[in-house]
Amino acid sequence: MTHTFKDLAIFLKKKGFIYPSSEIYGGLAGLYDYGHLGTLLKHNFENVWRDYFLNLNDNSFELETAQIMHHNVFRASGHLANFADPVVKCSACEFTERADHFVEKTTKQRTEGFNPEQLNHLIEKHKLACPQCKKTLAPVTSMNMMFPLNMGVGSTTTAYLRPETAQSPYVNFKLQYELQRKKLPLGLALIGKAFRNEISPRNLTLRQREFTQAELQLFFNPHLVDEHPEFEKVKKYKLRVLLEEDRKKNAVVERTPDELHKKGLPKFYLYHLVKIQQFYFDVFNIPPERFRLYQLDDSEKAFYNKYHFDLEIDLHEHGFTEVGGLHYRTDHDLGGHEKVSKQSMEIFDEESGKRFIPHVLELSFGVDRNVYSLLDLNYHDDKERGNIVLSLPQNVTPFVCGVFPLLKNKEELVALATNIFATLRPHVKCFYDEAASIGRRYARADEMGTKYGITIDFDSLNDQCVTIRDRDSTKQERVPIIKLREFLQKEI
């Protein structure tokens, strides 16, 4: 049973997962709040991400950094000059939209990375007019997407809200390299907010003006880009890729790192492509057919990216949507910071006896988009049950189990249930619910993504067993209270 974007948006608001920010004042476009359940889900995703990516090598560390940054950071990174999106406006009415999206939507032609001239050309060629009033469109212009801030009294300092978290690890690199025993590859991870003044924010948390990124910046020796100690172990793994050469067929082809290596992609890059796909398949059970690694061509990728694959998930109604990327950014960023800050970013690598500016491989994930994807792919409108079932994986779901006394006005049941809840709580993500019928409570638990419902009934008082009901199969099973924790921990 498929659902629409709107079904999901209504559900997420109703259950308090995600809803517009400042809503009592009418909200603000592109800004969302996560309620209780959404916050738990998002934090769980972040923790799973941390566990996985910080453990890929033993020289990775996490940073927590300021979101407001010096304007020179963005001179060095090129954001001040180049971080602009094309805007299309109507010559007669109020219509304004991001021009590449507008053209892509109306012509069905991929326009990622197109400049205003290319977009104007397409608008002319297809005779596109204002979708609202049918009048002529004004020529496409571009708008810088950063948020400037006036800091302090008298506002003499212009600073910016960072448009990507990546610049924070870059400006921290030299110090961290010295502190972490001057060893490469060095991983600096950061989970934090980024801000972009999107022209047309939409689709809930898929395109926001303030969003969370989880990124690992790997600084490495560029002379060793075609090496990775674990490459042999992964070289036969089947990657679901859509290469430039597969575009015409628009079909994913399974290719091994071995095959892709022969096509010129370096081993250090390929190893991480495998780890990323495994993150989606092994950690979140994303159905393979809903996942692909999309290779960007030269016109689409940022000029400093030597290799760039987007991580895409096939969402209901939206189709394949970018949720992250693997970017080989070369020495573009550190080189830029060296020039503007006048501080050397070069290091002396004792192992190779060489002096160089490290290159960067960026593993980038949009946390909000990934959380949205998990919600979208695990949302099922179960007509038989008459409620939504959110079959979220247990590693991210807000609660693994709910504890329910069959009746709330029977003291012995409530006493036993609260006792069980207190015992489980320190070990398993669980909640207690005694309101409404047991059927209603099961339905509520399904909608929260709770995997197990634990019901304490009158038999429990005699046989010291409880009924465990599984969210996905609705199968019920009697388990001795004494074995409950063991059962749940085994299942998790």
90 binds Zn ion (CB under 5 A): yes
Contact range with Zn ion by CB under 5 A, out of 84-92, 182-190, 269-277, 328-336 = 84-92
133 binds Zn ion (CB under 5 A): yes
Encoded one letter per residue, x for contact with Zn ion by CB under 5 A and - for no contact, window 39-78 reads ----------------------------------------
Which is nearer to Zn ion, 137 or 273 (by Cβ)?
137
Residue 265 in contact with Zn ion, rule: CB under 5 A: no
Q: Taking CB under 5 A as the rule, does residue 130 contact Zn ion?
A: yes
Q: How far is the CB of 92 from Zn ion (least distance, A)?
A: 5
Task: Considering the complex, state which of residue 36 and residue 134 has its C-beta at the smaller distance from Zn ion.
Answer: 134
Stretch that binds Zn ion, among 101-109, 122-130, 245-253, 285-293 (CB under 5 A): 122-130
Which residue, chain included where needed, has tokens 């179960």? Answer: 382
Tell me which of 10, 66, 93, 151 binds Zn ion, using CB under 5 A. 93
CB closer to Zn ion, 90 vs 465 = 90
The pair of structure tokens assigned to 23 is: 């809503």
137 binds Zn ion (CB under 5 A): no
136 part of the interface to Zn ion, by CB under 5 A? no
Closest listed residue to residue 279, CA positions, set 43, 50, 44:
50
Smallest distance from Zn ion to CB 132, Å: 5
CB closer to Zn ion, 90 vs 191: 90
Pairing of strands 18-20, 32-34: antiparallel
Examine residue 456 and tell whether it contacts Zn ion (CB under 5 A): no
**β-bridge partners, 327:** 308, 362
Range in contact with Zn ion (rule: CB under 5 A) among 14-22, 88-96, 324-332, 368-376: 88-96
96-98, strands of its sheet edge to edge: 96-98, 84-89, 141-144
Taking CB under 5 A as the criterion, the residue among 132, 285, 352, 419 binding Zn ion is: 132
Residue 426 burial (CB count, 10 A): 8
Out of 95, 356, 431, 487, point to the residue binding Zn ion (CB under 5 A): 95
61 or 95: whose CB is closer to Zn ion?
95
Q: Which is nearer to Zn ion, 92 or 407 (CB)?
A: 92
138 touches Zn ion (CB under 5 A): no
Query: Is residue 134 within 8 Å of 91, Cβ to Cβ?
Result: no
Stretches 128-136, 149-157, 217-225, 263-271: which one binds Zn ion (CB under 5 A)? 128-136
| Binding region for Zn ion (CB under 5 A) | 90, 92-93, 95, 130, 132-133, 135
